[in-house]
Amino acid sequence: VDAHLIGQETSDQVSLSNGCACCALADDLSRQLETLARDHDYDVAIIEASGVADPINIAQVIYGTNGCHLDGIVAVADPIALEEQRGNHHIAPLLQRQLQAAHLVLLSKFDLLDKNGLQIANSAVAEVAPGSRILPIENGEVDVRLLCGAADRGASLTNTDHFTNFEVATAVINPAGPWDPRDLGKMLEESNHQLLRAKGWFDDQQGSRHHLEVVGRRWSIEPSSNSPIQGLVLIGLDQEHVGAAATKMRALNPN
């Protein structure tokens, strides 16, 4: 799914083999970075890791890669879900690890917060990671110069203790649909689906294709006439919840 989304923007991409950049894919990531540094005239590479990745493990890969140095680590925090995540014993250790490793914390969904909500979110991040630089952003927009200068003179890690990789459950729905987008939206709005993430494409009863994005309790469905592929990936904390969400989606098919 991600490869196709990126492919819609550029044809120049390299896919890593199946796995996680902070554990199983460490050697593959290091080789690709060395190739970029050796064969191309690039100044900066930005690695956008999964929301359940350990940034310190990825940073250690970069430290061991010839021709590369770590400029900084940027974390994106959801201020609306932050308190719930801090209270979840599955997510809280990873959240703390990510925020404490970051040299810059971006508070997303700034446009959905009032002044009091922003203050609460800032205080929550500061409590988990004292001294962090915190920047509110709207609609995911941030000056790339901030990302490339997250650390003033390169990054140093204060906590390199071993961390058990965060485990998630996934399910694939393929084919996805045919569903009425309104029915799917109602299911996402009203059910306690407990998905962390869902993304992909589905068809409606008329054969039109739609792009679905789910992040926690937020979701969007948009027409997608230029997508040649179809199917959804669901991601959650355990297989039971992910499987239940997949079952509810499949039940929307009138056939």
Mean pLDDT, the chain, whole residue set: 80
Q: Give CA 73 to chain center in angstroms.
A: 14
- Domains in the chain: boundaries: 2-148, 169-250
Residue 21, pLDDT > 80, answer no
Dihedral-angle region of residue 87 (phi above 0 means left; psi in -120 to 50 means alpha; beta otherwise): alpha
What confidence score (pLDDT) does residue 58 get? 85
Q: What CATH topology corresponds to 169-250?
A: Hypothetical Protein Yjia; Chain: A;domain 2 (3.30.1220)
Write down the pTM of the prediction: 0.63
The helix (run of H) or strand (run of E) holding residue 244 is helix 239-250
Residue 32, pLDDT > 80, answer yes
**What strands lie across the sheet with 195-203, from one edge to the other?**
169-173, 231-236, 195-203, 209-215, 218-223
Tens digits of per-residue pLDDT, 1-15?
Answer: 566 666 655 555 566
**pLDDT above 70 coverage of the chain, percent:** 80
Strand positions, DSSP E, the chain: 74-77, 104-107, 134-136, 169-173, 195-203, 209-215, 218-223, 231-236
Residue 181, pLDDT > 90, answer yes
* Two structure tokens written together for 4: 């196709």
Residue with tokens 């939206």: 185
CA 191/CA 217 separation, integer angstroms: 10
CB 118 within 8 A of CB 80: no
Residue 151, pLDDT > 70, answer no
CA 109/CA 82 separation, integer angstroms: 12
Residue among 184, 16, 150, 4 at smallest CA distance from 70: 150
What confidence score (pLDDT) does residue 201 get? 93
DSSP letters, 129-159, are STT--EEE-BTTB--HHHHHTSSBTB---S-
pLDDT band at 221 (very low <50, low <70, confident <90, very high): very high
CA 233/CA 174 separation, integer angstroms: 9
What confidence score (pLDDT) does residue 153 get? 45
Average pLDDT over residues 239-250: 93
What confidence score (pLDDT) does residue 26 get? 62
pLDDT band at 244 (very low <50, low <70, confident <90, very high): very high
**pLDDT above 90 coverage of the chain, percent:** 20
CATH architecture of 2-148: 3-Layer(aba) Sandwich (3.40)
What confidence score (pLDDT) does residue 227 get? 73
What confidence score (pLDDT) does residue 246 get? 94
What confidence score (pLDDT) does residue 82 get? 85
Torsion sign across C-alpha atoms 65, 66, 70, 76: negative
Q: Helix 115-128 and helix 92-101: axis angle, to 10°?
A: 90
What are the angstrom distances between the C-alpha of 143 and each of 105, 106, 135, 155? 14, 11, 11, 19
Other Cβ atoms closer than 10 A to 206: 7
